[in-house]
């Protein structure tokens, strides 16, 4: 299946989760073409030397866990506050419809990671995840997403490569 055919499975949901936001629903894509979708995300970078995938809660877990399993590498969860046992570090951030806090364990040491999420909107979640991984002594080699809503963020000039299968 081509990338264009995969993109047709993404549907726009107006006014979700609040009025004025057009939500990119990837549910049909995941239910109909999950394996092909994961392969598209994996194909975005060279994985040589990468030891772990850091998945951002919650839908980033879907992609990160599948990538880690397929490539036989580790999985590092980046979770919402209060979901991981200590010791953890936290980072608060703003997103397009509120504020939140992410946490990651401090038990890692210099693993080479790729940060993975489903959708990059304003970039707040990804920026907080990058800060967390740096604080946790992880070596970030890139960031991946299925969708980058680049009209909502200014990540083009990021020091860390950010790649996505689809960009709007």
DSSP string, 5-44: HHHTT-EEEET-SSTT-EEEE-HHHHHHHHHHHHHHHHTT
Tell me the catalytic residues.
59, 96
Task: Return the pLDDT at 157.
Answer: 82
Task: Return the pLDDT at 133.
Answer: 96
Task: Return the pLDDT at 96.
Answer: 61
Task: Return the pLDDT at 150.
Answer: 94
Question: Whole-structure pTM over 0.85, yes or no?
Answer: yes
Domains and CATH numbers, the chain: 46-167 (3.40.50.2020)
Task: Return the pLDDT at 94.
Answer: 79
Task: Report the chain (168 residues): mean pLDDT per 10 consecutive residues.
Answer: 94 93 94 97 97 96 98 98 97 80 94 97 92 96 97 89 96
Q: How far is CA 145 from CA 38, 73, 119, in A?
A: 10, 18, 6
Helix, strand, coil: what percent of the chain each, to 5?
Answer: 30, 35, 35
Q: Of 63, 58, 54, 74, whose CA–CA distance to 134 is shortest?
A: 54
How would you classify the pairing of strands 11-14 and 22-25? antiparallel
């Amino acid at each position: 299946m081509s990338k264009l055919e995969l993109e047709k499975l993404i549907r726009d949901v107006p006014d979700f989760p609040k009025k004025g936001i057009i939500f990119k629903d990837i549910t049909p894509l995941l239910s109909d073409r999950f394996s092909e979708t994961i392969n598209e995300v994996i194909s975005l970078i060279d994985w040589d030397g990468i030891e772990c995938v850091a998945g951002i809660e919650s839908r980033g877990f879907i992609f990160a866990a599948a990538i880690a399993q397929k490539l036989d590498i580790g999985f590092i969860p980046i979770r919402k506050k209060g979901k991981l046992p200590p010791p953890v570090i936290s980072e608060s951030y703003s997103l397009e419809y509120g504020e939140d806090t992410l946490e990651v364990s401090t038990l890692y040491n210099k693993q080479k990671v790729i940060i993975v999420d489903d959708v990059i909107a304003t970039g707040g979640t990804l920026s907080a995840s990058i800060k967390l991984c740096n604080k946790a002594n992880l070596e970030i080699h890139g960031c991946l997403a299925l969708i980058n809503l680049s009209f909502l963020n200014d990540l083009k000039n990021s020091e860390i490569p950010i790649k996505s299968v689809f960009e709007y």
